[in-house]
Amino acid sequence: MVMATAPGKIILFGEHAVVYGRPAIAVPVFQVETQVSVEEWRGTQVRIDAADIGREYDMADVPPTDPIAAIIRLTCAALGIEPRGLSVRVRSTIPVARGLGSGAAVSVATARAIARYYGRDLSREQASALAFEVEKLHHGTPSGVDNTVVAFAEPIYYVRGKPFERFRTAAPFHLAIADTGIPSPTLITVGDVRRLWEADKTRYEIMFDQVGEIVREARNRIEGRSPADLGQLMNRNQELLREMGVSSPEIERLIEAARRAGANGAKLSGGGRGGNIIALVEEQARERVASALTQSGAASVIVTRVE
């Protein structure tokens, strides 16, 4: 039996605008992960066991767009192998459709496990590229930020269609990540933003430009020694996301709770309308912010250190 893993992720700045060519910053979240194991299975079938999401099936019985079947086929095609007689077991602590990169992590971990089973190793570029193909099946127009940060498992500055840039975190900082408990498929929010952009391109392009400025400034501050100032930029990014129409009352409630409890700034992360919010927290405010978020209805709170 072989096994492979991939972490979750969050977008720090720039979601949605990144689909329109502006930069985004994303970081891996190692407190949650997907684990995939592959072993021999009698007969010729490819058995997929994804019990966490309540599914166990044969690859032959699902449409080719099934995300796990799709990544198995894509990986095997890239390796020049016909998949048969396999049991693929997927386990994940990354909640689905909450902006934590669950889809990308399942793809990256599955691609790696399949390759390893056949005695091959995928580079991080290859794992990312294969996962991107699955993102396209499901998101329509993904920017590629999710598969990149999950496959490379390091903070990235990302512009669609370009090689990502690594950057230095001058001083580590902490984020509280709080789940609204509401699943929000990226496909829907990305589609809604596209319709709104089509109806008023001038207004949306201005908002995307403003987000782009925030992202560039955020990178400067992370590389310099002033991560506390990031809070203000998170608040400004959130205002723009609200104006774009992707916030929600649940998101606003958690953001408000975090700010009141002493967070330096907060915003939604990912597609929006549900999913997770992130809040910048200093050492002494960590506990207070985490418990305020729980009291305000967060389904879970993770505190992560970015470095």
Nearer to ligand PMV, 59 or 177 (CB): 177
Region near ligand PMV per CB under 6 A, out of 40-48, 54-62, 142-150, 161-169:
142-150
Residue among 131, 12, 109 at smallest CA distance from 52: 109
The DSSP-derived string for 147-206 is HHHHHH-S-EEE-TTS--B----SS-EEEEEEE-S----HHHHHHHHHHHHHH-HHHHHH
Catalytic residue among 121, 146, 192, 229: 146
Judged by CB under 6 A, the residue of 34, 75, 143, 248 near ligand PMV is 143
Cβ-closest position to ligand PMV: 270
Distance CA 47, CA 168 (A): 42
121 is catalytic: no
Angle between helices 124-139 and 102-117 (to 10 degrees): 130
- Residues 85-114 binding ligand PMV (CB under 6 A) are 99
CB–CB of 271/186 below 8 Å?
Answer: yes
CB–CB of 90/57 below 8 Å?
Answer: no
Is 128 a binder of ligand PMV (CB under 6 A)?
Answer: no
Q: Classify residue 269 by its DSSP letter.
A: E
Is 22 a binder of ligand PMV (CB under 6 A)?
Answer: no
Is 177 a binder of ligand PMV (CB under 6 A)?
Answer: no
Nearer to ligand PMV, 66 or 146 (CB): 146
Size of interface with ligand PMV, in residues (CB under 6 A):
16
Is 186 a binder of ligand PMV (CB under 6 A)?
Answer: yes
Is 270 a binder of ligand PMV (CB under 6 A)?
Answer: yes
Q: Sort residue 295 into left (φ over 0), alpha (ψ -120 to 50) or beta.
A: alpha
Is 16 a binder of ligand PMV (CB under 6 A)?
Answer: yes
Is 145 a binder of ligand PMV (CB under 6 A)?
Answer: yes
Q: Considering the complex, what minimum distance in angstroms separates the CB of residue 31 from ligand PMV?
A: 16
φ, ψ (nearest 5 deg) of residue 229 = -65, -10
Is 18 a binder of ligand PMV (CB under 6 A)?
Answer: yes
φ, ψ (nearest 5 deg) of residue 274 = 180, -150
Is 271 a binder of ligand PMV (CB under 6 A)?
Answer: yes
**Which residues of this protein are in contact with ligand PMV, per CB under 6 A?**
11, 15-16, 18-19, 99, 139, 142-143, 145-146, 186, 190, 270-271, 275
Active site residues: 146
